[in-house]
Structure 1
Amino acid sequence: MLLINPPLYMYKAMRVNPFFKFFRFWPLGVLLFLGACSSGKQSFQKGDYDRAVIQAVNRLQKDPSNKKALSTLEQAYKYAQENHQTRITEAMKSTETFRWETVVQEYESMNNLVDAGRRCPACRSVINNAGKYPEQLAAARQKAAETRYDLGAKLLKEKNRQSAKEAYQHFERAEQFVPGFKDARQKQDEAYLAALLKVVVEPVAVNKGVYQLSNEYFQNKIQEYLQHYEQQSFIKFFTLQEVRGKSFVPDHVLTLSFDDFVVGQTYLKEKEQNLERDSVKTGTVEGKDVYGTVKVKYITFEKTITSSGLLDFRIMDWQTKNIITQEKMPGTFVWRDEWATYKGDERALNKEQLKRARRRESPNPAPQFLFVEFTKPIYSQLTSKIQSFYRKY
């Protein structure tokens, strides 16, 4: 038995999918918004009776004496009910696998129209609680959950990952239709375990001690990504320590190693220029300004420190040790510093040159910083590769 800690539900978000709950009602919300300034007559004429009902309700909430909206509501509500009932009858007579889900949707739509009418006193003469179908909806939900549960149970018996993944979805839907339905939650856990691809991730080894702290940062970033990724998938990543003594056999082993890396290659470029500027005031003679040419020797420095490395990414079959996929991922970071000095008259310099001349050489960044920086583009490549590779699983 495979034990995973924390509990399984932490890896699959919520058993009752909040998005399912939201989108189940979104058409009504959209209709409420779009129908705020309409009596619903145009929607009625187009045969969109649900929209016409909502638009008429909205108008009557603002103007209870609006006869046009009331007339539209009476006709549209009648036709909407008839349409939903017809679709329910057709669905119940069909042999389509998920016909009961259609029935659930139709009853929910009718109940939603009644709920909308409840908020409008002027609408209660047309729409009342008699139009709701709580018992029929509950029965349809029960049937829909039963269908999903039976499909999940059948697929689970096939004992392969793809079938187990599909079974998981069916048990999840069964729980959504009827929370606590039979042992659907337990079966969902069982399907998750059967569908799970177990991947051992070997740590990135760095032999040079000075970079150990930076490598831990890189390793932790990878671990955070893997933890986030597995919550949205049927993949579970383990460390070597976590699989020791366990009863299960991993499927893949993911190894990461630097083929080579260089930190702190320094290059200094020096450039000397003789600059001059004409028509610069150089003094005063007998009360008159004297203009001339000023000159300066301007020396610029540009220092670059380059760090780079090549990460070997490899996924192998745990049992056969055969390589499934492999890729080399390069990363480079260049740190730059610029400053200048001069000899002569600074008035020969423009603002940008003078600004650079007032700067001083910056201290070199720490090797650990340079290591982290060149691994950042590698991290981006790595996470993209993991996502694209395991998407098919």
Structure 2
Amino acid sequence: MIRFLFLSLALSLLFFSCNVTKRYYIKGQYDRAIVRAVKKIKKQPNKEKEIVYLEKSYNAANQNDQERLKLLKTEGRPENWGEILDLYNSLKYRQSVIQPILPLKLGNRTISFPYIDYDKDIFNAKQNAAEYWYAKGKQLLNSGNRFQAREAYEKFKNVKYYFETYQDIDNLMALSLQKGVSKVAMQFENNTIFKLPADFKDKLFGLEYERLDSKWVRYFPNPDNNDQYHYVIKLNLKSIQILPEKIFVRESVKTKKVQDGTEVLLDNNNNVVKDSLGNPIRVPRMVEVTCKLIETVQQKGSHIEGEVIYFDIDNQKEITHKPLGSDYFFEHSIFVANGDLRALDEETRKKLGQLPVPFPNDMEMISGAVDIFKKVFSDLLYDNKYIIK
């Protein structure tokens, strides 16, 4: 039974292997059939089944391409030249694949497909395709629409694909990049009761713009009044709150077991335990120590609240607005200990003896809050990059 199964499996694999080229041919996957047949024939030049389906696939593929070429040329549409070029390249490549194994013998017949030089047709198609994409790109670029300028850039890329140098293509690509950019003007508005420093906006807008800028979008933290922009992002600072200074006391008792010398080890019957030399064994003596900790805390806080408004200049409408805010806290502690200092952890012991410090003034509190607010603002812009088209 097992021998039968192995035999069946071996025959199935053999049948499958012999019929892969045929299956490709039946499915109309002629080029895959050709590549596989050529690979097999290189190993076994007299493999007749592979030769049969190589010939059928090659003729069928070429016939399809030639019929498509005839139709495209008959239509006479300039946008067809790109496809015409692809078809000629396919014909040339297909021919190069089978050339190394020609001629072939199939029974009494010699198979040798005639060699056709496609280079002139390919060059002509490349020229016509480049000419079409060049003209189409210029048409789009001259429309005055930045989105069509982006399309123009892609058309000019097609020209560069065909010819590295072609008329003024590099200048046109640079111009389409320039005209296709959406410019975003950054604006700041202070609607709080505070008179902020002159450099406040510059500090807030000092972002990593490489995270925001892309090929088609540029952010301008200091927009030029003589330039034109497509979007405005306005940061509206609505309120700044300075929380009152606070001083309060926290008391706690710390307890900890620590070593306090050594003591003689006793057994369960209170007898002294000795080592092999008869000496009493001594072990660490652990005692519980306590320390009262008085912490005097200085606290002060600030809160900044605002919103970011996205405005579409071209359509003269607000796209969306997003709230944002941040908090900043100052805290300083003074510790006084009464008791066994061994009950305190090392970090707390280091803080003993510290003196009170002056509270930050209001502008220092605002400055501290701005650093956090700036990070929140930057993340909001990054998370909403998709809004800018």
- TM-score category by the smaller chain? 0.5 to 0.7
Instruction: Name the structure 2 match of 1:141.
Output: 126
Q: 1:78 to 1:321 in 2, by over 3 A?
A: closer
Deviation at 1:48, TM superposition (A): 0.8
SS at match of 2:115: helix
Decide whether the 8 Å contact of 1:199 with 1:237 is kept in 2: yes
User: Does 2:204 align with 1:224?
Assistant: no
2:25 to 26, 41, 44: 44
The aligned amino acid for 1:384 is D
Contact persistence 1:269–1:303 (CA under 8 A): no
Query: Aligned letter for 1:143?
Result: N
Structure number with greater Rg is 2
Contact 2:307 2:321 survives alignment (8 Å) = yes
Q: Partner of 1:329 in structure 2?
A: 324
Unmatched runs of 5 consecutive residues or more in structure 1: 1-37
- Structure 1 equivalent of residue 101 of structure 2: 123
* 2:186–2:221 contact (8 Å) kept in structure 1: yes
1:107 paired residue number: 88
Which structure is higher in helix share? Answer: 1
SS across alignment from 1:145: helix
Q: Indicate if the aligned counterparts of 1:265 and 1:306 stay in contact, CA closer than 8 A.
A: yes
The alpha-carbon deviation at position 56 of structure 1 amounts to 3.4
Structure 2: which amino acid aligns with 1:87? R
Residues 304/157 of structure 1: CA separation in 2 closer, same or farther (3 Å cut): same
Deviations for 1:200-227, whole angstroms, at most 9, x for unmatched residues? 3347999767x96x9867644343234x
CA–CA separation in structure 2 for the residues paired with 1:307 and 1:82: 78
SS in 1 for 2:28: coil
Partners of 1:51 and 1:265 in 2: CA distance: 79
User: After superposition, where does 1:52-63 map in structure 2 within 5 Å?
Assistant: 52-59=33-40, 63=43
Q: What's the secondary structure of 1:98's corresponding residue?
A: helix
Give the TM-score normalised by structure 1: 0.58
Find the counterpart in structure 2 of residue 314 from structure 1.
309
Q: Per-residue CA shift, 1:283-328, capped at 9, x if unaligned?
A: 5454269999957569799999977644542345779997665433
Aligned residues: 334
Are 1:98 and 2:96 matched, yes or no?
no
Shift of 1:263: 9.7
Taking a change above 3 Å as real, the CA distance of residues 383 and 47 of structure 1, as seen in their structure-2 partners, is same
Give the direction of change, closer, same or farther, for the CA distance of 1:195–1:68 in structure 2 (3 Å limit). same
Provide Cα deviations, 1:30-86, integer angstroms capped at 9, x if missing partner.
xxxxxxxx785142342211112233344556x365726852544433332223223
Distance in 1 (alpha carbons) for counterparts of 2:287 and 2:156: 88
For the 8 Å contact 1:202–1:254, the answer to whether it is kept is yes
Residue 67 of structure 1 pairs with residue 66 of structure 2: no
Structure 1's 125 and 319: CA in aligned 2 closer, same or farther, altered over 3 A?
closer
Structure 2 residue ranges without an equivalent (≥5): 1-16, 105-111, 274-282, 358-363
- Within 5 Å, give how 1:272-351 maps onto structure 2: 272=252, 284=264, 285=266, 286-287=271-272, 294=288, 309-316=304-311, 325-331=320-326
TM-score by length of 2: 0.59
Instruction: Give, in whole Å, the separation in 1 of the partners of 2:174 and 2:251.
Output: 69
Which position in structure 2 is the counterpart of 1:31?
Answer: none
Q: How does 1:233-252 map to 2 (within 5 A)?
A: 233=216, 235-238=217-220, 240=222, 243=224, 248-252=227-231
Structure 1 distance, partners of 2:66, 2:338, is: 90
Q: Contact 1:263–1:371 (CA<8 Å) still a contact in 2?
A: no
State the partner residue of 1:25. none
CA distance in 2, matches of 1:300, 1:117: 92
Q: Percent identity?
A: 17
Partners of 1:69 and 1:308 in 2: how far apart? 82
| Gap change, CA 1:290 and 1:321, over 3 Å in 2 | closer
CA root-mean-square deviation: 5.6
